[in-house]
Structure formats: C-alpha cells, structure tokens
Amino acid sequence: MEIDQWRREYLRGGLHRADLKATPVEQFRQWLSEAVEAELSDPSSMCLATADASGQPSQRIVLLKGFDERGFVFFTNLESHKARDIASNAKVSLLFPWQSLERQVIVYGQAVQVERDEAQAYFRTRPRDSQLAAWASHQSDPIQNREQLQQQFDAVKSQYGENEIPLPEFWGGYRVLPNAVEFWQGGANRLHDRFIYRAEEAGQWSVERLSP
C-alpha cells in the first residue's frame, strides 16, 4: 500500500465571492440543499471536536438536527464524554465533510445547552427504540460486553411497556453559536477556494478569502 502516492485532482468547480450569500447560515442552507439533492450519504452528519480542561481534543460524528441564525443543534447524553468536555470548555468545532462534492464546511463557536422543552420536542420525534436506547446506555462509561448493553435495553423496554417514554434528565441538546464559518471548495492543482465568515457586532458578518 503506497499510501503516499494516493491522490486525485479536485475538478468539480470553484467558489467565488460574488456567489456567496450574505450570512454563513444562508450559504450553509444552500450547500446542504445541494448535498441532499446529490443524494450524499448522511449529509447531516458532522464531526464534532471538543477539548477537555487539559486541552486534550477529541472528535466524533454526530447528526445535525436543526440550524438557523442562532446556530447549529445536536442532541446527546448530557453525561457523555463530549458533554463533560463542553462543561469545562465550551469552545467547539464542527466539520461537514461533503467529500464527493469536494466541499467542507467548518464551524467555530461555543456550545450552549438548549432549553429542556426544545430537547423534549425533538425526543418525541425519535423512534421508540431510540428513546429506549437513550435510557439504556450510560454513554461513554465502560461496559463489560454487548450482552450487558442488550440486557439494559431489554430492562428499560420492559419497564415502560406501551407507556410514553419520558425525556431522561441526563439527555438534551446543544446549540453551537458560531463566531466563524469556513466554506472550502476543492480546486485543481490544490488551489482550493476558501472563504471564512467572521461574526461582527449587531449580527453582521465579514468575509475573507483564505489561501489554500
């Protein structure tokens, strides 16, 4: 495997300042729509990067569950590794790797917990077994084996039967409030197009082109 020889050209097209929307959320909405139209696998999946109090970073894939001018929303166990990191260091980054479109979007910002009624509204839309799984899994804690996890799931399923499954106290969501958003479009000869929006006062955004 000569991995150092693996390469390809990026030829799908460029990104021009004149084509950019006024805000990063508008630009993101357009690119997400195009990712959906292109039938990408999991276009709402994003890599969430956090860092603990010591500065040790960690990453994982989570799903975007909403966005607007306020920020980008995801849901999780509030006692998980990522949640513990956010509790000590709320600065996070999101990466949307739309590789087949030769695009990336990077969001830099601060994670704040959403209100419980917002988490409740989303939790109700989850499939019933996913609701049960939220109760069954002590996310990021060590577990003896797969059988133990299945036993915990079966116990919760038996406990609630056909009754409504309540939102766990330890489960909720975060909204990433962006202070900068970068849009990357691959270009030939590694001359990629990169534009970064930076938050300014009164909800305004500045835009800069970055060297590839």
> Does the annotation flag 94 for ligand binding?
no
Measured distance CA(131)–CA(134) in Å, rounded: 5
> Does the annotation flag 64 for ligand binding?
yes
> Does the annotation flag 196 for ligand binding?
no
* CB of 34 closer than 8 Å to CB of 13: no
What tokens appear for 128 in the block? 């019933």
> Does the annotation flag 122 for ligand binding?
yes
Rounded to 10 degrees, the C-alpha dihedral 181/28/110/140 comes to: -120
First CA to last CA distance, the chain:
28
Report, in angstroms and rounded to the nearest whole number, the Rg of the chain calculated over CA atoms: 20
* CB of 60 closer than 8 Å to CB of 74: no
> Does the annotation flag 76 for ligand binding?
yes
- Active-site residues, by number, are 190
> Does the annotation flag 128 for ligand binding?
no
> Does the annotation flag 75 for ligand binding?
yes
What tokens appear for 186 in the block? 């691959």
> Does the annotation flag 139 for ligand binding?
yes
Residue ranges of the annotated binding site for substrate are 7-10, 65, 122, 126, 130, 190-192
Binding site membership: which residues? 7-10, 60-65, 75-76, 82, 104, 122, 126, 130, 139-140, 184, 190-192, 194
**Can you say which residues are annotated as belonging to the binding site for FMN?**
60-65, 75-76, 82, 104, 139-140, 184, 194
